[in-house]
Amino acid sequence: MTTPMELFVEEMQKLFQPDEVYVMDGSQEEAERLADIAQKSEVDGRVVLRKLNDKEYPNSYYHRSNSNDVARTEHLTFVCTPSETEAGPNNNWMDPKEAKAKMTGFFKGAMKGRTMYVIPFVMGTPKSKYAKNCIQITDSIYVALSMRVMSRVGKQAIERIGGSSDFFRGIHSIGDVNPDRRFIMHFPQENLVMSFGSGYGGNALLGKKCYSLRIASYLGYKEGWLAEHMIIVGVQDPNGKVTYFLGAFPSACGKTNLALLEPVLKGYKVWTLGDDIAWINVGEDGRLYAINPEAGFFGVAPGTGLKTNPVMVKTLKNDKFFPTIFTNTAVDNSNNTPWWEGVSDEVPSDMTDWQGQKYDKDSSKAAAHPNSRFTVSIYNCPTLSPECDNPKGVPISGIIFGGRRKDTIPLVYEAKDWNSGVFTASIIGSETTAASSGQVGNVRRDPMAMLPFCGYNMGEYFQHWLNIGKKVQKLPKIFMVNWFRKDENGKFMWPGFKDNSRIIKWMIDRIEGKVGAKEAEIGLFPEENAIDLSGLDIKKETMEKLLKVDKEDWKKEVVMIEEFYAKFGNKMPVDLRNHLAELKKKLGI
């Protein structure tokens, strides 16, 4: 009997008409073979992979994409639910029939002369009951190899699926990399994504944003769990006790640096479990437990260096898991290593920039694209938590939300309770970054850092968060942070990076009930001297400014929040509207 999985592959073969079909087994031998083929193949006029200096960066390859295909394209990303309301004002919507007709038109015969890769993979450790089975089809060998790093590819997925029809279907073709024929279509009700015309991670590695966030957030809504744009870390204190946190920040706001943090405070250590996505379930004991569905990091290269993220530098130089891929960085020709702004203070004299041109050292242009990336296995990470593959996940005591704001949002505050925390997360605004195409630096509302990733109406999503709170017996504390406050001269006021551990220590003290807090209009604030600033040269006035609620700034903020809330009409939960009304009263509006 033909299984649904086999039928799907047959159907795809008929549609795409490839010269060959290759089903991945996930082995190291296979990955080495594919990397060899990729070094001899050209796509879109460029060789797919180039081997880098094996001594400096073992198992590493360089990939340069089309310069029109370097970031997520939110304007070309659609959620295709039966009605527009189900997708919500937070998503672009297209009728599912129309979307399928459009995509099928692009897909027809698109793999003539190419190989169709069938990638069976599991999101989450395959032993976990929370893990999900998936199949992606692609004609990009770069995507196939990247999927091996980012997910658990291979036989285990085929075994888990067996004769069942319950698996995610991800259909991808890089097409001719033409932005006019580029779409990423999600069909949450059908557990299906169709993506055409882009090889960029967030658009093409369909297990990541498309499945583990957009589709999974919808599954979580239906099944009673949460799929979130969050890091997972365990923070060990000097007595050896580990407290697990989740952290949600918009793209390119330091999530990976926080996930691999080396604390400045003596005796503290961060254990890494995930740097981008968390699936959160209510465990048998009534607490929230999180697993990381991914198996790798797809991180922003610029700004990653020994000062900012020494653990990632070690991860990238580790040879445990094959392969590591650098995309759209520059290359230092003197030793064939990848280079990006922030990896060293010195700029090498003989470099090729991300577009393949000789780099002019005196130019003001960056050598690496600001959204250039590395794709590396989580198993290469020296601070990987021993709990990383625990099928139950880890119990969460604190949730940190954040955004990138030069003003208004204080360095840290705590929400009074779960519902106030949901409100706090629902009003996040953040300056846009290079992770998505479009203008950089504009403040936009990005609730829970999920605006580009929530696969259904965000009003319903907020209600789902409130409902989860009712099911949990021991709720985590919720905190808001902003590492990015600037002074009148445009200088960052807080050192950030390693020093963020000082703020996390305060959170642990709050979770353990060791310190009190002062109440202000927007939440609970550290008492005087409660943040450990030992060894840090920061003025008292600076700390005061960092922790101040500026009423005039907040009055402007409330206008933006009200506009955002209004878009959701009666889908916006009453509880959150009441919180907003209460905040206005406190601010004297």
Identify the residue whose tokens are 């254990």. 271
CA 289 – CA 286 distance, rounded (Å): 9
Beta carbon of residue 367, minimum distance to ligand OXD (angstroms, whole number): 21
If you write DSSP's letter for every residue of 289-312 in order, what string do you get? Answer: EEE---SEEEEE-TT-STTT-HHH
Measure Cα distances from 442 to 406, 428, 429, 488, 494 in Å: 11, 13, 10, 19, 21
Return the H-helix or E-strand segment holding 480.
strand 477-481
Hey, which residues between 225 and 264 contact ligand OXD (CB under 6 A)? 251
CA 370 – CA 303 distance, rounded (Å): 9
In the list Mn ion, ligand OXD, none, the entry touching 202 (Cβ below 5 to 8 angstroms by class) is ligand OXD
Hey, which residues between 506 and 545 contact ligand OXD (CB under 6 A)? none
Closer of 185 and 230 to ligand OXD (Cβ): 230
Beta carbon of residue 201, minimum distance to Mn ion (angstroms, whole number): 10
CA 187 – CA 190 distance, rounded (Å): 5
Q: Quick one: how far is CA 485 from the chain centroid?
A: 22
By CB under 6 A, residue 435 contacts ligand OXD: yes
Q: Quick one: how far is CA 275 from the chain centroid?
A: 7
In the list Mn ion, ligand OXD, none, the entry touching 15 (Cβ below 5 to 8 angstroms by class) is none
By CB under 6 A, residue 202 contacts ligand OXD: yes
Beta carbon of residue 254, minimum distance to ligand OXD (angstroms, whole number): 12
Q: Quick one: how far is CA 115 from the chain centroid?
A: 29
Beta carbon of residue 425, minimum distance to Mn ion (angstroms, whole number): 16
In sequence order, the β-bridge partners of residue 168 are 134
Burial (Cβ within 10 Å: 0-12, 13-18, ≥19) of residue 50: middle
- Which span (16-24, 273-281, 422-430, 510-518) binds Mn ion, by CB under 5 A? 273-281
Q: Compose the 61-80 pattern: x for residues touching ligand OXD by CB under 6 A, - for all others.
A: -----------x--------
Q: Nearest 5 degrees, angle CA 156-CA 161-CA 162?
A: 100
If you write DSSP's letter for every residue of 440-465 in order, what string do you get? Answer: SS-EEE-GGG-TTT--S-HHHHHHHH
Q: Which residue is closest to ligand OXD by CB? A: 251
Beta carbon of residue 25, minimum distance to ligand OXD (angstroms, whole number): 27
Hey, which residues between 294 and 323 contact ligand OXD (CB under 6 A)? 298
Closer of 228 and 276 to Mn ion (Cβ): 276
Beta carbon of residue 231, minimum distance to ligand OXD (angstroms, whole number): 10
Closer of 368 and 435 to ligand OXD (Cβ): 435
CB 413 within 8 A of CB 523: yes
Closer of 9 and 227 to ligand OXD (Cβ): 227
Closer of 15 and 435 to ligand OXD (Cβ): 435
Beta carbon of residue 136, minimum distance to ligand OXD (angstroms, whole number): 17
Residue 323: asked if its preceding bond is cis (omega within 30°), the reply is yes
In the list Mn ion, ligand OXD, none, the entry touching 341 (Cβ below 5 to 8 angstroms by class) is none
Closer of 276 and 341 to ligand OXD (Cβ): 276
In the list Mn ion, ligand OXD, none, the entry touching 298 (Cβ below 5 to 8 angstroms by class) is ligand OXD
Closer of 172 and 502 to ligand OXD (Cβ): 172
Hey, which residues between 159 and 188 contact Mn ion (CB under 5 A)? none
Which of 91, 251, 281, 377 binds Mn ion (CB under 5 A)? It is: 251
Which of 69, 86, 139, 276 binds Mn ion (CB under 5 A)? It is: 276
- Which span (114-122, 275-283, 364-372, 478-486) binds Mn ion, by CB under 5 A? 275-283
Q: Which residue of the set 80, 134, 210, 253 is catalytic?
A: 253
Beta carbon of residue 354, minimum distance to Mn ion (angstroms, whole number): 20
CA 241 – CA 259 distance, rounded (Å): 18
- 80 is annotated as an active-site residue: no
In the list ligand OXD, Mn ion, none, the entry touching 154 (Cβ below 5 to 8 angstroms by class) is none
CA 130 – CA 111 distance, rounded (Å): 34
CA 226 – CA 278 distance, rounded (Å): 8
Which of 276, 353, 389, 414 binds ligand OXD (CB under 6 A)? It is: 276
CA 145 – CA 325 distance, rounded (Å): 9
The amino acid at residue 328 is N
In the list ligand OXD, Mn ion, none, the entry touching 579 (Cβ below 5 to 8 angstroms by class) is none
In the list ligand OXD, Mn ion, none, the entry touching 402 (Cβ below 5 to 8 angstroms by class) is none
The HSE-up count of residue 337 (CA atoms within 13 Å, CB side) is 17
Q: Nearest 5 degrees, angle CA 495-CA 491-CA 398?
A: 40
Beta carbon of residue 250, minimum distance to ligand OXD (angstroms, whole number): 7
CA 175 – CA 181 distance, rounded (Å): 8
Q: Active-site residues: which are they?
A: 253
Q: Which residues bind Mn ion (CB under 5 A)?
A: 251, 276
Q: Please give the residue ranges that form the binding site for ligand OXD (CB under 6 A).
A: 72, 201-202, 251, 276, 298, 435
